[in-house]
Chain A
Amino acid sequence: MTPNAADSGWFESVDSGDLAGAADAIRRGSADAPADWPAQAVEAGVAADTDDYYAQLRTATIDAAREAVAEREGADDQQLLHAVRAMDDATRTANELAERCTEWANTQFDDVASGIDGAREIATCEPDDPVQERVVALATRIDNLATEADELRGFIERLAPEVAPNLAEMAGPVLAARLISLAGGLDSLAKKPSGTVQVLGAEDALFAHLAGRGSSPKHGIIYTHPYVNGTRPEDRGSAARALAGKLTIAARIDHYSGDFRPGIHDELDDRMATIRARADDGDGGGNVDGDTEEEQ
């Protein structure tokens, strides 16, 4: 199966009656621009008339979608877990290398900006000698690595809503992936109590607290959610508890049922509005109301 030329329709390189080939062309082909494909197919003798063309197209698209669904259903929470870990590793490594690279580049070029942006600038330079060649080559690698980190993020943004629609809607795709990654899978996340979800990612602080040092952590990775970090410090504990409760429910719906339920998102929005209204009421803050809030 050769890929379609940039300006040809899906039917172009498919033999008549070759159903597998047609589905493959639907799935893997591409074109720079659409055209009047029905007319072209009739003209090329692929279809007797446009009705015949649409009938063939229907069979091919349904077959292709069915195949692709079967394959993609293998895309599970474990893929998400690997993707988010790979993204974090790629980002961290790119930053570390960029630091090294810009430090080195400072001895060779003028006005080197720091960080990945700096490395990307250097990557576009024309090297004059063997030293500069190495610096520019390193910068190019960093540029690629940072690009891969961005692509991984895009991949996670598309995959997370498939794996966990409610969790991804509530937490955002990347935080949803991080929670799944920290728990070790959607299955184990769904089985955790919300108090554990609340402090996922704050294990050091939690165990220090359990060993008698320091206060208990109010939030773990869910701190990155705007509902937590956008709430005033006095109310962050409440916000984190409310969010963790709903996230736990979202993870359970995603794991055990898989359908999207708008209701729980509205409930969280309401709860957050109540918590944030305390700031407007001139309440001194702090969780002094005797913990009457519902956990879930």
Chain B
Amino acid sequence: MTNLPDGIQRREFDGRQRLATRGQPVYGEPTDGEWRCWDAGRSKLGAMLEAGMEIDLVGGEGVLYLGAASGTTVSHVADFAGPTYAVEFAPRPMGDLLDVAEARNNLFPLLKDARKPDTYSHIVESDLDVLVQDVATRGQARVAVDNARFLTDDGQLLLAIKARSEDVTADPETVFDSVCDELTEAYEIIDRQRLASHDDHLGVVARKR
């Protein structure tokens, strides 16, 4: 079961219980006072939390987020977490991510390639608690394994694997199995689930070995 920190609450939006965090609205999401709805349809991590996967969060964690894109998900993460390092490779979404970072004190945007952790090891601190990864490139397991260096012992990996990025033609389940297999090089897999709202994606929770 998911352990949610105080910074994430289930609140009622449009007549149903949805996740919410406190912070500046980013993408036109509905708000309730200072709480803003975390749209699980637009955020794979949001979908993983809503699905009740084995995620353990207490708030204030040090986070490395790979594949931050426009900052939709990372904005919610920065709302409840501590120092949050957001890595994104593409300049276009980085423009939006910068706006998200301007409105938060604990979000550090990095225009870097997640496949080359050496290029940000001089910035991102060691012993972080959580690694969130949502990159649509081939070799997603490799990226997670290479970035395990930033995690503390027992640190959590929250990963969304996209089957089509690995192999368009193969059966998604086969792709997921081979990615999970490669992950065991650095992680112990705690939970895996297909994400209903994100076709073609597998949510994985793992701990660093």
Contact = CB atoms under 8 A, between A and B. Distances in A.
Name the residue among B92, B110, B126, B137 with the largest chain A CB count within 10 angstroms: B92
* Count class of interface residues, chain B: 35 or more
A158 B109 CA distance: 19
A75 interface: yes
Interface stretch (A30-38, A128-136, A277-285): A30-38
B30 interface: no
Contact of A35 (B83, B106, B126): B126
Contacts of B120: 30
Interface residues of A, number: 41
Contact of B111 (A58, A68, A157, A258): A68
Interface stretch (B9-17, B47-55, B93-101, B177-185): B93-101
Contact of A68 (B91, B108, B127): B91
B169 interface: yes
Contacts of A158: 89, 113
Contact of A30 (B95, B106, B122): B122
Nearest to A71: B91
A3 to B, nearest CB: 10
Contacts, number: 104
Contacts of A64: 110-111
Interface string A250-289: 0000000010000000100000000000000000000000
Given A69-B111, A72-B111, A9 B105 contact: no
A191 to B, nearest CB: 22
B168 A226 contact: yes
Given A54-B83, A162-B92, A61 B121 contact: no
A198 to B, nearest CB: 20
Contact of A161 (B90, B109, B124): B90
Contacts of B126: 33-37
A69 B94 contact: yes
B134 to A, nearest CB: 13
B150 to A, nearest CB: 5
A223 interface: no
A141 to B, nearest CB: 27
A266 B106 CA distance: 37
Given A34-B149, A35-B126, A65-B97, 17 more contacts: A9-B123, A10-B123, A31-B118, A32-B118, A37-B126, A54-B106, A61-B101, A61-B123, A62-B109, A65-B94, A65-B101, A66-B98, A68-B91, A69-B111, A162-B91, A226-B169, A258-B92
24 contacts: A8-B122, A26-B123, A30-B118, A30-B120, A30-B122, A33-B121, A34-B124, A36-B126, A37-B122, A38-B125, A54-B83, A54-B105, A54-B106, A58-B107, A61-B101, A61-B110, A61-B123, A64-B110, A64-B111, A65-B109, A65-B111, A69-B94, A69-B95, A226-B168
> Nearest 9 A-B pairs (CB), nearest first?
A31-B122, A31-B121, A72-B91, A34-B126, A61-B108, A68-B111, A69-B91, A29-B122, A65-B109
Interface of A: 4, 8-10, 25-27, 29-38, 54-55, 57-58, 61-62, 64-66, 68-69, 72-73, 75, 157-158, 161-162, 165, 172, 226, 230, 258, 266
